[in-house]
A and B are shown apart, each in its own frame.
Chain A
Amino acid sequence: MVLDTNEAKKKIVEFCESKSKTKTKFYFNDFTDLFPDEKARDVKKILTVLVNEGVLVFWSSGSTTMYGMAGAGKHAEGED
């Protein structure tokens, strides 16, 4: 099955928004769980499109990277 980009994007954004009260950052694996029949690489392509569109942003501690909705959560002052 080939992912429909628009549907997948919608599903990802809805997922992030549905968790927004408790979580603002997500591991890559959280998104692959949304699409159990898809290859991780295809899910990554959708996430990359969302990052390039400015909908999602990367968050990195230096050792681990997570994805989050742009503007969501607390950031250090002047970071964004």
Chain B
Amino acid sequence: MAKHKTPLLDQLESGPWPSFVSDIKQECASRAKNAKGVDYQVPADCPDDLLGVLEMSYVDGETHWKHGGIVGVFGYGGGVIGRYCDQPEMFPGVAHFHTVRVNQPSGLYYTTEFLRQICDLWELRGSGLTNMHGSTGDIVLLGTTTPQLEEIFFDLTHKMNTDLGGSGSNLRTPSCCLGQSRCEFACIDTQQLCHDLTNTYQDELHRPAFPYKFKFKVDGCPNGCVAAIARSDFSIIGTWRDEIRIDQKAVAAYVGGEIKPNAGAHAGRDWGKFDIQKEVVDRCPTGCMKFEGGKLEINNKECVRCMHCINAMPRALRIGNDRGASILCGAKAPILDGPQMSSLLVPFIKAEEPYDEIKEIVENLWDWWMEEGKNRERLGETMKRLSFQKLLEVTNQKADARHVREPRHNPYIFWKEEEVKGGWQRDIADYRKKHQK
């Protein structure tokens, strides 16, 4: 028997899709039964109260959560987000219902042993409810009380060899796609780079000194499975600077129907015979491909790495051999003030251990943003306010045609005196020899 009546939430279960309401009810039933005899350290019925407070919010059309506070583990400025219910008498199980963010493994590879440990820990010391994963990538453990925090932190760090994730004005937990572990498109070892950045910048992850949040995301190729370009202040995206490798025999096999396009991903419906002209060549955004006399040609100079041809014919077209990454800066996806994509800063950089070149850019960027950024201002906003030109200057990058999105996009280039031959002074008499008044 449910503790609270939840007719509005129940309606959410009626659709064909999986429902979080059903999941929470399952946890309510499991905790009520307590088949394993767990000595619950937070109210056993907190999932029931969670449903109750959510139903109340649906009825009222407003939230009943308060958030923020000094909850946290000793010495850490992030990783725990305080959450309180503003109707604690009605819903005592969720009066204190803090969120804990845990650093996820690179590429989200888990052992079943680790997952069991996480679940057992959270049954004992939390609500049992998790979110795998939050939008930054962390393992999100939902709902615990302040006295449990140090206990949870001890187990995570001493028994499970992991750490809290980032929150607040910190570096957030870096995330990456699964990269070269499974994907032939990966141009860089995303997992290694993500792990290295996480360890190198531990202090930034746990002790805040930034104007606001800062996110690293590492995509192995421009397909962007972790959406680095849309969601990270510092987007590292694998690319190549030589040529797409073409296997003409495999091209012929795609044209002849022997190999299914897109590795058979759209084979659930009959799309008719594969038409390389229509489905690949004509879809190239820069028109840099042609298919003549049974031969596919690519003008690589014009390729913008959209990945469409490679995705459509993965056995015929492969990423180049001279691989590295592009670095883009300034993406954000806030609720207020609108989203922004990253802007290209470094067209190509080698991404090899110990990643010193990448780290130099990161640290120059931070020095500038920490100095100039206003409180609660993301890097992308600082860039907009102080100009892309300034960003190039602080990161020691030279302006490049590839920085320009389209001609005349930003014609306001301000020269400095030292960049102009002869400075601001000129010999007017000499000038008048060639130019009449």
Contacts and interface: CB of A to CB of B under 8 A. Distances in A.
Contacts of A29: 211, 374-375
Interface stretch (A5-13, A14-22, A53-61): A53-61
Interface in B131-171: 146, 167-170
Contacts of A63: 167-168, 212-213
B287 interface: no
A59 B168 CA distance: 9
A61 B96 CA distance: 15
Given A40-B370, A52-B75, A79-B70, A60 B168 contact: yes
Interface residues of B, number: 35
B35 to A, nearest CB: 31
Contacts of B213: 63
Given A40-B371, A79-B82, A65 B69 contact: no
Nearest to B88: A77
Contact of B78 (A43, A60, A68): A60
A61 to B, nearest CB: 4
Contacts of A27: 211, 375
B167 A62 contact: yes
B256 interface: no
Contacts of B371: 32, 40
Contacts of A58: 70, 72, 76-78, 168, 208
B308 interface: no
Nearest to B76: A58
Name the residue in A52, A68, A76 with the highest tally of chain B Cβ atoms < 10 Å from its Cβ. Answer: A76
B350 interface: no
Contacts of A43: 209
Q: Which of A52, A65, A79 has the most CB of B within 10 A?
A: A65
Nearest to B75: A52
Given A29-B211, A61-B68, A63-B213, A78 B96 contact: yes
A60 B82 contact: yes
B64 interface: no
Q: Nearest 9 CB-CB pairs, A to B?
A: A65-B168, A61-B68, A62-B81, A58-B77, A65-B208, A60-B168, A44-B209, A65-B169, A40-B370
Given A29-B211, A80-B70, 15 more contacts: A28-B208, A28-B211, A40-B371, A43-B209, A44-B209, A47-B207, A51-B77, A58-B78, A60-B69, A60-B80, A60-B81, A62-B82, A64-B376, A68-B70, A75-B70
